[in-house]
């Protein structure tokens, strides 16, 4: 069971260039940190995928071990863990998040 979950996580990370694991959804976040992180991502103006870990308790249980990152939200860009809310907000304030997201989104467009 556990292995299936890890496979699913790997698949989600591989298939989505910009992926946010969060509590709730960007429109209806269930925690302040997820809310801040998704707001910052949305204001970058590119499409991103998200997984609501409250609806996926198996992912909620396994992802921290897989990512070696204990908390949510988690932002993954191009298969790499960027970090959680603090890192996302810090990067956003410096303008680094916008660049990272735009580059990742541009790669998706060029692949399609």
85 is in an annotated binding site: yes
31 is in an annotated binding site: yes
86 is in an annotated binding site: yes
Distance CA 30, CA 10 (A): 24
50 is in an annotated binding site: no
8 is in an annotated binding site: no
Contact partners, residue 25, CB within 8 Å, separation at least 6: 38, 50, 52
Distance CA 7, CA 28 (A): 27
23 is in an annotated binding site: yes
User: Which residues are part of a known binding site for glutathione?
Assistant: 23, 60, 72, 85-86
Q: Which residues are annotated as a binding site?
A: 23, 31, 60, 72, 85-86
Binding site feature residues for [2Fe-2S] cluster: 31
């Amino acid at each position: 069971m556990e292995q299936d979950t890890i496979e699913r996580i790997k698949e989600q990370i591989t298939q989505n260039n910009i992926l946010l694991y969060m509590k709730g959804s960007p429109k209806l976040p269930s925690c302040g940190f997820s809310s801040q992180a998704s707001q910052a991502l949305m204001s970058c103006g590119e499409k991103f995928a998200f997984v609501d870990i409250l609806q996926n308790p198996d992912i909620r249980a396994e992802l921290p071990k897989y990512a070696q990152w204990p908390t949510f939200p988690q932002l993954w860009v191009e298969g790499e863990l960027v970090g959680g809310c603090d890192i996302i907000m810090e990067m956003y304030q410096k303008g680094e998040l916008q660049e990272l997201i735009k580059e990742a989104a541009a790669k998706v467009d060029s692949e399609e």
